[in-house]
Structure 1
Amino acid sequence: MHLLLKTSVSQALSAVWAGFDRSLFNRLSPPFPPVEVVRFDGCQTGDIVQLRLNFLLFRQDWISEIVDQKSSPDEIYFIDQGTQLPFFLTAWHHRHRLLRNPAGGTIVVDDITFRTPFLLTDYLMYPLMWLQFAYRKPIYKKIFSGN
């Protein structure tokens, strides 16, 4: 399944990139399931991000490796690839793109491809995944408001 969400923010590309740190990552975590950041190396190739999802009766680890990162004057991106995923996912590829907006500011793009164990659950998970990432839009806008 493929998700693509775009959020326009008012800060410049370099400022938004500088803000992609552990603090932002903590703020982007949705209310459910609660997420503990166990490890956050950063957003550079080879870095590891480990999350612990708390489903109340049990916990699941989610480990991703940053497999690519590139910068140009008009775009900065990094890709996290799931290496250990919670039970409901079999594949995860998330390209975080920061695009210079010609009108000013930056466009934050979450470009995600995921799979679950079954095609039917791909479709059932799609709206849940969309909500988890749509939740980030007002947070991006607030943090990167330029104020």
Structure 2
Amino acid sequence: MQIHLKTAVAQDYMTVFNAFDEQLFRRLSPPYPRLKLLRFDGSMPGDVVGVELQTGLKSFRWTSLITEREVTETEAWFVDQGQQLPPPLRYWHHRHLVTRNGSGAVIHDIITYSTGIKALDLLLYPLMLGQFSMRKPMYRKVFGKAH
């Protein structure tokens, strides 16, 4: 399944892209499940980000490897690829893309995930959409609303 969320913001695309650091990662964390950050190397190929999802009943490890990164005159992006995933996920690919939009930018969260069971992927879709849609207000707070 794929989710593609777009958020227009006021700051230019390189300022936005360069702000994808540990501080922004913490601000984007959803209220539930709580995330305990175990490792944050950055967003360069070979970097690792590791969290523990704390549900209140059980904790799950989630580790992603940054596999790609590119900057052009109109866009910049990096990919985090799931290495160790919480059940029921079996595949995770998240492209963090920031594109030029006049004097501002558009932040794209392009997420491809799979549980290995199409029906379960469909059931998870509203949850995934909800979790990542929560980033939109934070993006606008941090980078300003697009005019």
Instruction: Determine the C-alpha separation between the residues in 1 that align with 2:64 and 2:95.
Output: 12
| Alpha-carbon distance in structure 2 between the residues aligned to 1:110 and 1:53 | 20
Once the two structures are TM-superposed, the CA of residue 144 in structure 1 deviates from its matched residue by 0.5
Report sequence identity in percent.
Answer: 44
C-alpha displacement at 1:29, in angstroms?
0.5
Which residue does 2:132 correspond to in 1?
Answer: 133
Question: 2:32 aligns to what?
Answer: 32
**Pairs within 5 Å for 1:78-97:** 78-97=78-97
Q: Which residue of 1 aligns with 2:118?
A: 119
| Structural mapping, 1:1-147, within 5 Å | 1-102=1-102, 104-145=103-144
CA distance in 2, matches of 1:110, 1:13: 14
Separation in 2, partners of 1:99, 1:58: 38
* CA distance in 2 between partners of 1:118 and 1:72 (Å): 37
Q: TM-score, normalised by structure 2?
A: 0.96
Please give the secondary structure, in 1, of the residue aligned with 2:144: coil
User: Residues 5-29 of structure 1: CA distance to partner in whole angstroms, max 9, x if unpaired?
Assistant: 0000000112112211100000101
**C-alpha distance in 1 between matches for 2:41 and 2:8:** 26
Which structure 2 residue ranges, 5 or more long, are not aligned? none
1:117 CA drift (Å): 3.7
CA distance in 2, matches of 1:96, 1:142: 18
